[in-house]
Structure 1
Amino acid sequence: MQGQNVKRALFEVLEDTGRRKVAARTLRQFLVFLIIGNIALAVLETVPEVRQALNTHLSFIQLGCGVIFLVEYILRLYVADLHPPLRRYGPVWSRVRYAMHPDAIVDLIGALPLLFVLFLPNQAVTIVVILRLLRFLKLARYSPALRSLISAVAGERKALLGSTMIIFGVVLLAATVMYLIEHKHQPENFRSILHGMYWAITTVTTVGYGDVVPVSNLGKMIASVVMLMGYGLIALPVGIIASAFAREIHSRDFVVTWSMVSRVPLFEDLKATEIAEVAKLLQAQSVRKGATIAEKDAVADRMFFIFDGEVEIRLPHETVYLGVGSFFGELALINQTRRTATIIAYRDCQLLVLEADALRHLMDRDAGLAKKIMDEAKERALAGKKILGELAEEELQQAGVYASMDEAREEPELFSDDEQDETSGAGKDPSGKKPS
């Protein structure tokens, strides 16, 4: 049992799931620092003066980094059978399937230099240097933007392949024409179409080294046309990737905001299209660490979703900390009473704000949506005056505000209506306790 708990803890830290957010974030930052430092050292080792001065130290550092990456890979393989999609395959096949995943392959590449150094110290010098530099691929695990870019390229692979074929066709055509025109004037530079392709590639890519240039008037005219075409041809794949990347970012943000809204009890009975309409009303707001998000006694006319960062809600009897994915102030959209708690940014925050007026305008346009929301709000408000409602109480228990259902029943007036509102999303942070 103890071993299973340790394994679960390792999984939560390595994969950044569960309650161990601080440990997971610390490990992630350490590994990112280690990857960047390792790449820098691999580059510095190629400088003769640095290699001679720090040869022993660099070897120990590289050996230590290799051990860390190897241990990381083994531990990730060890907890692989805890991944929800892999559990049904059993302890062996789940690890086999995980080992074939691109992230696991990249982790293995990061660990391979140590194995080569230990078992093939003299025969694998070039391979080790290349593998050390390839460790930068591990950054994709910790960079959502890089993963989005990779996903965008993968999604547009057919379009990129098509644009590559067009570019290759233009290069081949330009090389053939230039060979036919310039061969008699420059037999050494244009001995064949293959030699002409070198000129065509440097011209189409607008590099233009100048070591091979046309000398005939007709050749110069053809070269001018090819150069102008080069700008458009290079812009073709760039435009494809840029539009796909923007679409990927927009899609990811929409999914995140949609899922945030769908978890709010006030909106949980809405259809997917209705939740999407509510999500469109969200407005972004950046708040610096220590800044006040909402004042006590201010009119509660909006609710907040935490897109990034952490907030602190100061209740009369408790201080609750909410992290990424949490929400607070849902009943404020309907009741608009005065707040009885001050909300402060515990860290720099990116918030999504839903104004009560914006939601009301949407409800005015859609009577069916308005009825659903109002019915749910009445039930939530009624339940809140009793025991805060089953869902809200569960959230408060997870946040540490209530210890049990019995305590909630024994102290029904512990919170006012506003306090119910401020803490209705507390359960979205598994711990709810002050972060370390």
Structure 2
Amino acid sequence: MSAVPFSKISTPINALFAAIGLLIVAALTTPNLAAEEQLAFELLLAAIWVVYVLQLVGTLLSRRQRPSSGVTALLIDLLAVLVPVVAFLFVGSRDRSLYCAIWLLKPLRDSSFFRLMAKVVANESRNLLGVTSVFGIVLFGAALAGYVIERDVQPDKFGSIPQAMWWAVVTLSTTGYGDEIPQSLGGRILAGLVMMSGIGIFALWAGILATGFYEEVRRQDFVRNWQLVAAVPLFQKLGAAALVEIVRALRPRVVPAGSVICRKGDIGDQMFFIVEGRVSVATPDHPVELGSGSFFGEMALITGEPRSATVSAATEVSLLSLYAVEFQMLSSSSPEIAETIRKTALERRGGLPKA
């Protein structure tokens, strides 16, 4: 059997294998497990490990063709194979199966999360560093104040700044284990202030990261939409300013092959531009196919009439949709495009029906 297909195991399958493996690891920690059951579980772990070995081989073979691709996937595949082997060779039989918990990383091997997270952290590094500095200052200040206030009352728990640091961490994070509690009035006032400071600091961290994720996703969507819009021949002669307006107005959409995009008789509120793929227009005589660079559905925006034909995806098709409100704005900002669309609509109305 070729190992290359194993490098293409989908993320859900990777997640399924990892979940099965982790459930087995959990089951193996059950006390008084029968020897037959333990052997069966270990054989299942070995079978999953063999699949991951084949996936690693497939990943290595794939990288020979594209050396710069899949660094994260290769690293996770290596860890998934090597860590259990090292545990089998050097760890006692009781705990060696625990190292299969490294398979927790398997569902993330094809995820773009790491790249996105790295970009967000890099973009927001100054703000994150600032909040982290505030966290460190408050943490040490709380430990110092707790030591001064509580050292005589609880010398066993607040007898030094390092001891008080644990209380400061637990309080600042608002975890509140309760193992170290200030006894004096001043200590309790300090604890309340530290708790409120912790809420604010963690809220700042969360807000910075959330804003960073939003901005980065929006930036990536804008770049992708720009590339899609620039691929439509109707928009290729426009300047950058006009393209920006169109990118903001158009909405990308991918339709699987065989799916109906719009039906005859429906009220239409948008038209479509084809970026990739082909659509089939059901006409009275015979179906007509439109390919990349074409558009359809414009009659519903120009005349307000119901759809005059059913349009379905002949292949998987990448579309850009333009709603009626944005069409009016486009007509004002780019009258030459609006005129081309109207002219095409009139020609089609005189010939084959269009949605």
State the TM-score bracket (shorter-chain normalisation): 0.7 to 0.9
Q: Deviations over 1:162-216 (max 9, x none)?
A: 3223212211111111111211111111121000001111111111122211222
Tell me the amino acid that sits aligned with residue 70 of structure 1. V
Q: CA deviation at 1:345?
A: 11
Counterpart position of 2:225: 257
Q: CA deviation at 1:358?
A: 2.4
* Contiguous gaps of at least 5 residues in structure 1: 1-5, 15-23, 84-93, 386-415, 423-436
For 2:118 and 2:22, how far apart are their aligned partners in 1? 21
Counterpart position of 2:30: 47
For 1:162 and 1:43, how far apart are their aligned partners in 2? 41
Counterpart position of 2:98: 129
Q: Does 1:278 align with 2:246?
A: yes
For 1:56 and 1:72, how far apart are their aligned partners in 2? 24
Counterpart position of 2:46: 63
Q: Does 1:370 align with 2:335?
A: yes
* Contiguous gaps of at least 5 residues in structure 2: none
Q: CA deviation at 1:299?
A: 8.6
| Alignment RMSD (CA, Å) | 4.5
- The question of whether the paired residues in 1 share the 8 Å contact of 2:87 and 2:96 is answered with no
TM-score, normalised via structure 1 length? 0.64
SS of residue paired to 1:48: coil
Q: Does 1:227 align with 2:195?
A: yes
Q: Does 1:115 align with 2:85?
A: yes
Distance 1:47 1:108, change over 3 A: same
Tell me the amino acid that sits aligned with residue 72 of structure 1. Q
Q: Does 1:243 align with 2:211?
A: yes
Tell me the amino acid that sits aligned with residue 60 of structure 2. L
Identity fraction in percent: 25
TM-score, normalised via structure 2 length? 0.76
Counterpart position of 1:29: 12
Counterpart position of 1:73: 56
For 2:282 and 2:191, how far apart are their aligned partners in 1? 74
1:11-410 equivalences under 5 Å are: 14=7, 27-48=10-31, 54-83=37-66, 94=67, 101-116=71-86, 120=89, 122=91, 129-130=98-99, 132-144=100-112, 148-149=116-117, 151-283=119-251, 292-296=260-264, 302-303=271-272, 313=280, 315=282, 330=295, 332-333=297-298, 340-343=309-312, 353-355=321-323, 358-365=326-333, 369-371=334-336
Q: Deviations over 1:272-292 (max 9, x none)?
A: 432221121135889999974
For 1:137 and 1:189, how far apart are their aligned partners in 2? 39
- The question of whether the paired residues in 2 share the 8 Å contact of 1:171 and 1:197 is answered with yes
